[in-house]
Structure 1
Amino acid sequence: MHRSRFSALLIDVPRDEVPAAATFWSSALGVPAAPVPEEEQFTSLKGAFPVLVTAIQALDDGDPRFHIDIETDDLDAETNRLLTLGAVEISRWLDCRTLRAPGGHLLCVIPVHSDPETFQSLSTVWE
């Protein structure tokens, strides 16, 4: 048994376009843009969605896109569940597993990042 939940919407942009993207999305969503300490590739858009992390992620390569994060208390079990549903694992970085869903969209399976109470109350239990 493990738990998981849709926890983040990431706006992926080339690294040199982050300042303009941060200004745009901050203004569009009515929230401040702020660097995330110790995670320099992220610019937080905290408050854009109440219990969903929204951030701009700097890319060193690749086209602009959106992707979602699914946080879980069991990386192997959640990754395997999604692979069984048709996703394909394309890479790993630290504790992040990047998958491509049917249809081509990217998603990342990550360890729990939200506070324990939020995770407990909003996650789905998988047998």
Structure 2
Amino acid sequence: MYGIFIDTPAGEADAAITFWAAALGGSSRQVPGEPAFTQITGAVPGLAVDVQSIGDQARYHVDIETDDVEAEAARLLRLGAVLVTDHGGHKILRAPGGHLLCVVPVQSAEHFFAIEAEVWP
């Protein structure tokens, strides 16, 4: 798992960023090139925690990073997830129980991914 994302209605994003940074003992940093994402740095070692400004209801979602988005998405679909949106480079799935998750290409530092990645059969 790469990270957990705190999906927040756009009008409440600034307050959510301030809250989560203070609550988790981190600081906020705008993600370069991604205006909807603000990273809460120093919150959980080894895990990205971002507030994502969205045009929908509040929720949480996780990102699973992989060096093969197609294969990982196919594995999760076989396990019972359903495809919500295929963005080409990443896919949004809904897990049994209704939770959203994204399958994304590697986001971590290359050396970290190399030693921490799980290989599934």
Normalised-by-shorter TM-score class: over 0.9
AA at the equivalent of 1:103: G
Decide which of 49, 64, 78 is 1:70's aligned counterpart: 64
Aligned ranges for residues 31-42 of structure 1 at < 5 Å? 31-42=26-37
TM-score normalised by L of structure 2: 0.96
Give 3-state SS (helix, strand or coil) of 1:55's partner.
strand
Q: Deviations over 1:75-114 (max 9, x none)?
A: 1100000000000000123522000000000000000000
Partner residue in 1 for 2:17: 22
Q: Report runs of 4+ in structure 1 exceeding 6 Å deviation.
A: none
Task: Answer yes or no: is 1:13 the counterpart of 2:8.
Answer: yes
Instruction: Note the residue ranges of structure 1 that are not aligned, 5 or more in a row.
Output: 1-5
Structure 1 residue 40: Cα displacement: 0.7
AA at the equivalent of 1:57: Q
Give 3-state SS (helix, strand or coil) of 2:41's partner.
coil
- The separation in 1 between residues aligned to 2:18 and 2:35, in whole angstroms, is 17
Task: Answer yes or no: is 1:80 the counterpart of 2:46.
Answer: no
Partner residue in 1 for 2:114: 120
Task: Answer yes or no: is 1:102 the counterpart of 2:99.
Answer: no
Q: Percent identity?
A: 46
Q: Deviations over 1:56-82 (max 9, x none)?
A: 00102x210110000000011000000
- The separation in 1 between residues aligned to 2:74 and 2:38, in whole angstroms, is 30
- The separation in 2 between residues aligned to 1:92 and 1:57, in whole angstroms, is 19
Q: How many aligned positions are there?
A: 121
Structure 1 residue 34: Cα displacement: 1.4
- The separation in 1 between residues aligned to 2:14 and 2:87, in whole angstroms, is 24
- The separation in 2 between residues aligned to 1:126 and 1:72, in whole angstroms, is 11
